[in-house]
Amino acid sequence: MKKDGHTHTRLSHHGSQEPLDLYLERAIELGFTDYVVTEHAPLPESFLATYAGPRSQDDDSAMLASELVAYKEEVARVKEKYGEKIRIHQGFEVDYLPGYEAETQVFLQENADWIDEIVLSVHFLENDYGLIGPIDYDPDQLKRFFQRDYRIRRPYLTST
């Protein structure tokens, strides 16, 4: 088995706008047997209402809830088109959001019959102000809002 287990579509809003077909054609060309489409699941509405990071980060971090049907239709389309050449699995990349576990669980239960695989990711954590903010947006945001966790790396010096 040769598998790509973590891929996105144009609905991630932070990656390529290339059609999913091009990724699958390349995977087939490279001899992949399995391909998993794991778009970022919509972020919980209650999280978005209290989000404390840069506005572009919440807009670019996941598909919108209104895009969920289009995502499922796109995966069904490519499964039909390429299914004889490569096994296509469907799923989500789901953010671990401290304090929003119940909403995430409801989403996963509502979509359980559709999901083949899940990628669990951590892109948001509680910052120095007690708010949930992005940890991988940019270095300045990390240094500004996660000072207690921010570490300056220095080369380890040895003497001979």
Each residue's pLDDT tens digit, 16-57: 788 999 999 999 999 999 999 999 999 998 888 877 666 655
Task: Give kind and range of the element (H or E) at residue 100.
Answer: none
Look at residue 154 and tell me whether its pLDDT is greater than 60: no
Look at residue 108 and tell me whether its pLDDT is greater than 70: yes
| Amino acid making up residue 37 | V
Could you tell me the two tokens for 157? 């010096």
Q: What mean pLDDT value characterizes the chain?
A: 84
Whose CA is closest to 95, among 69, 118, 129?
118
| Residues 105, 129: Cα–Cα separation, whole Å | 26
Percentage of the chain exceeding pLDDT 70: 79
Look at residue 92 and tell me whether its pLDDT is greater than 70: yes
The pLDDT value given to residue 127: 76
The pLDDT value given to residue 82: 97
Helix %, strand %, coil % for the chain, to 5? 35, 20, 45
Whose CA is closest to 72, among 11, 151, 141, 2?
11
Position of tokens 């940890």?
A: 135
CA Rg, the chain, in Å?
19
Higher-confidence position of 4 and 144: 4
Look at residue 111 and tell me whether its pLDDT is greater than 90: yes
The pLDDT value given to residue 122: 85
Higher-confidence position of 63 and 154: 63
Higher-confidence position of 141 and 108: 108
Look at residue 153 and tell me whether its pLDDT is greater than 60: no
Look at residue 12 and tell me whether its pLDDT is greater than 50: yes
